[in-house]
């Protein structure tokens, strides 16, 4: 029997948690860092794309398609993009840990502990969950959704609890048991918010492509932190409920003995 069977996940509490974390000093710092990261990634990727197609498309089309590109060799922008990709993983680890605990002092040694191991395990877990969800989706779509919901906390288990590959998958499966429908609705809500925000940004239609990319990076950076905080809020509810249930069970067993 799952230790969270008698506890209902509160979506409103998860949204409240995310909003509260985002408006703290640490949350705003994380949002600013994510915005800068998004801008750097845009510049790097667009520079790589522009260098690969340079000379094969008109200069005007090149400038409109890659407005943030800067002149650098493809090898340099390629390496920079890879390094930024790894940096993004490290940033997500720090963000998840800070949004879970001690956000006003980010970053601390606790937020950056065991980074190399955590990155490696996180990448492995991400690959496994992506393949599982993809195969489930190809098979009959619904199994893909079920697996996506069931494994949604695997990365948090790695990051927060230092779980291994198999342990993190098992942990996520156990935590989501009995709460999958609510977590599905949470995912739908996040997806809907993303669509609405994207539509608003598109409707504003900035005067230049470069400005549009900058605005997109700002919105994406802030929304990324909010989305992580939302997932952390749901995860923390279930972890806390599990810990309390385990403590109660241990106390009952001790009294019986």
Question: Can you tell me the mean pLDDT for 128-146?
Answer: 93
Check whether the bond before 107 is cis (ω within 30° of 0).
yes
For residue 132, is pLDDT > 70?
A: yes
- What integer best gives the mean pLDDT of the chain? 90
| 65 — pLDDT class (breaks 50, 70, 90) | confident
- What is the total residue count of the chain? 257
Q: In degrees rounded to 5, what are phi and psi of residue 106?
A: -65, 140
pLDDT per position as a tens digit, 172-208 = 999 999 999 999 999 999 999 999 988 888 877 677 8
pLDDT at residue 235 in the model: 98
Residue closest to 198 by CA, chosen among 216, 176, 210? 216
In the prediction, which pLDDT does 245 show? 61
Please state the domain extents for the chain.
11-115+169-245
Over range 155-179, report the average pLDDT.
Answer: 97
Contact assessment for residue 18 and residue 230, using Cβ atoms and an 8 Å cutoff:
yes
C-alpha 197/C-alpha 232 separation (Å) is: 21
Whether the pLDDT of residue 2 is over 60: the answer is no
Name the band, by pLDDT with cuts 50, 70 and 90, for residue 227: very high
pTM of the model: 0.89
How large is the average pLDDT for residues 97-115?
95
Residue 243: predicted pLDDT: 72
**Does residue 29 register a pLDDT over 50?**
yes
Q: Give the largest Cα separation in the chain, rounded.
A: 81
Q: How far apart are CA 143 and CA 8, in angstroms?
A: 23
């Amino acid at each position: 029997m799952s230790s969270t069977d008698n506890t209902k996940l509160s979506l409103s509490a998860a949204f409240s948690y995310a909003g509260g974390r985002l408006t703290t000093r640490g949350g705003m710092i994380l949002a600013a860092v994510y915005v800068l990261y998004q801008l750097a990634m845009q510049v790097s990727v667009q520079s790589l794309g522009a260098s690969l197609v340079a000379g094969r498309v008109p200069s005007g089309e090149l400038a409109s398609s890659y407005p943030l590109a800067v002149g650098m060799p493809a090898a340099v922008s390629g390496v920079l993009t890879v390094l930024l990709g790894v940096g993004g993983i490290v940033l997500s680890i720090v963000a998840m840990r800070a949004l879970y605990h001690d956000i006003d002092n980010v970053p601390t040694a606790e937020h950056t502990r065991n980074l190399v191991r955590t990155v490696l395990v996180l990448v492995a877990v991400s690959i496994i969950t992506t393949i599982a969800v993809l195969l489930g989706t190809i098979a009959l779509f619904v199994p893909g959704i079920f697996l996506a919901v069931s494994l949604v906390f695997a990365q948090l288990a790695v990051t927060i609890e230092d779980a291994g590959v198999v342990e993190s998958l098992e942990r996520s499966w156990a935590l989501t048991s009995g709460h999958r429908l609510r977590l599905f609705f949470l995912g739908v809500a996040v997806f809907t918010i993303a669509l609405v925000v994207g539509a608003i940004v598109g409707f504003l239609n900035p005067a230049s492509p470069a400005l549009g990319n900058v605005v997109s990076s700002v919105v994406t950076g802030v929304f990324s932190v909010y989305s992580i905080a939302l997932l952390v809020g749901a995860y923390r509810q279930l972890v806390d409920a599990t810990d309390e249930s385990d403590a109660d069970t241990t106390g009952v067993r001790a009294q019986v003995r």
